[in-house]
């Protein structure tokens, strides 16, 4: 008996996606509910489970665009206890590398989904890659170093040849680092290894469209301020150990800023509104989006009812979203419905930037790097840990006075963080 493996519906407006990678190989034995392939759409990347137990027969190769409801594989329930001889499949599926079996497979460290995708898409022979991860696990950095090796060798050869002829050494080539995206499987590499041309992934195309739409359709303006992080940093260092012991998670900066934003949204209600056609929609709930950077691009999972959550609940929510984003396991409903977004460029070292709105929201707060700077305190110069804050807003909805009031309130909450503790 055979069971069809179809592309599942992942949202009302989504009709197609890209089969970004198979998590199992052709002919593998799979279990009911076990993830067997990754599907990437313009909104999410998710792993799709097997609908039955049996032997996997792949019909569509990784990197192909697929429609919702399309059959991409069959599960043969006969001989599911052990691998059976694979049936004849489409020619493109035969490019998938054969899995290791027996003792060799048991000793090989598990690979992360990102590494598996990159191996399949770039057709990397794992036997030639030296793993530097825990227990010899192959990491994404190991694969990147392996892919860059030919270009580096070519540059070294050119340098040696130029040196022998008494010519200046050629400039070092820059080889773009391949991203683990679904459409990368169809990338065409130039013969001299100097450039890589690849199709944009559905997620990257969606991000590009959203950013352009935000700038074209909104009257976007940004206001800036700075806040003294001394109080928050002191509070964290004083209670970090007790907090972590009690709640099992670290007390970070993001929970303070979520609390501060919620407080400011209560004060400046215009920031919690959006334009829908000719209507102005006023929200009376506080679902806050937190931008998370992944290898596929920026995603914004939403913390629901942030006004009702404690610091520990906020930290757990943000931590769980970050882990799911890295593993490509975020669901569509976790990425929609936010009323305001917070993005932290400071973790990458950004000192100041102007964040772009996340439509249809009317505001986004940009956090930045904490840097010690001299400031005037009570007529004296002191060195304090300062952070620049940037608030971008839709001027069609929010007036300048309201935007400045909002950002000043966030600043006040961070600098007098004890008032946030009264919120829970």
Residues 231, 99 within the same domain: no
Tell me if 222 sits within 8 A of 80, measured CB to CB: no
Same domain, 92 and 238: no
Residue 45 belongs to a domain = yes
**pLDDT value, residue 62:** 84
pLDDT of 178 above 60:
no
pLDDT at 249: 92
Whether 103 is covered by a domain: the verdict is yes
Does some domain include residue 172? Answer: no
pLDDT for 325 equals 84
Kindly give, in sequence order, each residue whose CB lies less than 8 Å from that of residue 188, ignoring residues fewer than 6 positions away. 197, 198
pLDDT tens profile 4-20: 999 888 765 577 788 87
Of 69, 93, 109, at which residue does a domain stop? Answer: 109
Contact 9, 17 (CB under 8 A): no
In a domain, 201, yes or no: no
Contact 73, 34 (CB under 8 A): no
182 has pLDDT over 60: no
Given pLDDT bands bounded at 50, 70 and 90, which one contains residue 117?
low
Residue 110, pLDDT above cutoff 60: no
* Count of residues making up the chain: 424
The confidence score (pLDDT) of residue 381 equals: 97
Using CA atoms, how far apart are residues 281 and 277, in angstroms rounded to an integer?
10
- Domain check: are 248 and 385 in the same one? yes
**What is the per-residue pLDDT across 288-335, written as a single tens digit (0 to 9) for each?**
999 998 777 788 999 999 999 999 999 999 999 988 888 878 887 888
Number of compact structural domains in the chain: 2
Residue 410 within a domain: yes
Query: What is the tens place of the pLDDT at every residue in 222-241?
Result: 999 999 999 999 999 999 99
Through-space distance between the first and last CA atoms of the chain, rounded to whole angstroms: 56
Q: How far apart are CA 378 and CA 64, in angstroms?
A: 64
Inside any domain, residue 381: yes
Rounded to an integer, the average pLDDT of 34-45 is: 79
Asked if the model's pLDDT at residue 161 lies above 90, the reply is no
User: Do residues 360 and 226 share a domain?
Assistant: yes
Residue 353 belongs to a domain: yes
pLDDT attached to residue 80: 45
Average pLDDT over residues 75-93: 53
pLDDT grade, residue 48 (50/70/90)?
A: confident
The pLDDT value given to residue 88: 47
Q: Are 284 and 409 members of one domain?
A: yes
Q: Which domain holds residue 336?
A: 219-421
- 99 and 227 share a domain? no
175 within a domain of the structure (yes/no): no
Query: Could you report the per-residue pLDDT of 133-156, keeping only the tens digit for each?
Result: 655 667 766 777 777 665 555 555
Asked whether residue 416 carries a pLDDT value surpassing 60, the answer given is: yes
Q: Is 276 buried (19+), middle (13-18) or exposed (0-12) by CB count in 10 A?
A: exposed
Position 225 scores a pLDDT of 98
For residue 102, pLDDT over 60 is answered with no
pLDDT confidence bin for 361, thresholds 50/70/90: very high
> What per-residue string of b and e applies to 202-223 under the rule 16 or more CB within 10 Å gives b?
bbbebbeebeeebeeebebebb
> In the sheet where 29-30 sits, what is the strand order?
2-6, 71-76, 54-58, 29-30
- 83, 109, 135: which is the final residue of a domain? 109
Res 100 pLDDT > 60? no
Q: Taking a C-beta distance cutoff of 8 angstroms, is the pair 172, 159 a contact?
A: no
Q: Do 234 and 369 sit in the same domain of this protein?
A: yes
Task: State residue 194's pLDDT score.
Answer: 74
Q: Picking from 37-51, 171-185, 251-265, which range would have the lowest pLDDT averaged per residue?
A: 171-185
230: domain CATH number is 3.30.559.10
Beta bridge pairs of residue 223: 391
Chain center to CA of 340: 18
What local confidence, expressed as pLDDT, does residue 193 receive? 67
Each residue's pLDDT tens digit, 384-405: 999 999 999 999 999 999 999 9
Which CATH number covers residue 52?
2.40.50.100
pLDDT reading at 92 higher than 50: no
Euclidean distance between CA atoms 270 and 131, whole angstroms? 53
Residue finishing a domain among 67, 83, 109: 109
Q: Per DSSP, which regions of 13-142 are E strands?
A: 16-22, 29-30, 35-40, 45-49, 54-58, 65-67, 71-76
The candidate with the shortest Cα–Cα distance to 308, out of 287, 322, 289, is 287
pTM: 0.61
Q: Which residues are catalytic?
A: 395, 399
Distance of alpha carbon 362 from alpha carbon 273, whole angstroms:
7
pLDDT of residue 237: 92
| Confidence bin at 84 (pLDDT 50/70/90) | very low
What is the structure's pLDDT at 214?
Answer: 79
Q: In this predicted structure, what is the pLDDT of residue 339?
A: 96
């Amino acid at each position: 008996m055979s069971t069809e493996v179809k592309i599942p519906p992942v949202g009302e407006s989504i009709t197609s996606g890209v089969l970004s990678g198979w998590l199992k190989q052709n002919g593998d034995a799979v279990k009911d509910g076990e993830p067997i392939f990754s599907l990437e759409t313009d909104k999410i990347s998710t792993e799709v489970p097997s609908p039955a137990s049996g032997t996997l027969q792949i019909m569509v190769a990784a990197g192909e665009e697929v429609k919702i409801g399309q059959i991409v594989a069959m599960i043969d329930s006969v001989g599911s206890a052990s691998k059976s001889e694979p049936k004849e499949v489409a020619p493109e599926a035969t490019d998938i590398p054969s899995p290791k079996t027996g003792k060799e497979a048991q000793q090989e460290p598990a690979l992360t989904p990102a590494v598996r995708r990159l191996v399949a898409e770039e057709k990397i022979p794992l036997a030639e890659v030296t793993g530097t991860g825990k227990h010899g696990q192959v990491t994404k950095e190991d694969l990147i170093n392996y892919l860059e090796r030919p270009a580096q060798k070519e540059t070294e050869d050119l340098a040696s040849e130029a040196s022998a002829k008494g010519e200046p050494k050629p400039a070092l080539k820059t080889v773009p680092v391949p991203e683990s995206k679904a459409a990368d499987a169809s990338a065409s590499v130039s013969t001299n290894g100097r450039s890589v041309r690849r199709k944009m992934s559905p997620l990257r195309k969606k991000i590009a469209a959203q950013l352009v739409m935000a700038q074209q359709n909104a009257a976007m303006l940004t206001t800036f301020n700075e806040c003294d992080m001394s109080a928050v940093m002191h509070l964290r260092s004083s209670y970090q150990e007790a907090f972590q012991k009690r709640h099992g998670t670290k007390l970070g900066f993001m929970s303070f800023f979520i609390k501060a934003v919620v407080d400011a949204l209560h004060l400046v209600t215009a920031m919690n509104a959006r334009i829908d056609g000719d209507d102005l929609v006023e929200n009376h709930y506080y679902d806050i989006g937190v931008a998370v950077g992944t290898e596929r691009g920026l995603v914004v999972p939403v913390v629901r009812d942030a006004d009702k959550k404690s610091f520990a609940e906020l930290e757990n929510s943000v931590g769980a979203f970050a882990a799911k984003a890295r593993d490509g396991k975020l669901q569509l409903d976790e990425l929609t419905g936010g009323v305001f977004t917070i993005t932290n460029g400071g973790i990458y070292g950004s000192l100041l930037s102007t964040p772009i709105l996340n439509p249809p929201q009317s505001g986004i707060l940009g956090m930045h790097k904490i840097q010690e700077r001299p400031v005037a305190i009570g007529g004296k110069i002191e060195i304090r840990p300062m952070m620049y804050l940037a608030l971008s807003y839709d001027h069609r909805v929010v007036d300048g006075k309201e935007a400045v009031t909002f950002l000043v309130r966030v600043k006040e909450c961070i600098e007098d963080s004890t008032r946030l503790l009264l919120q829970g």
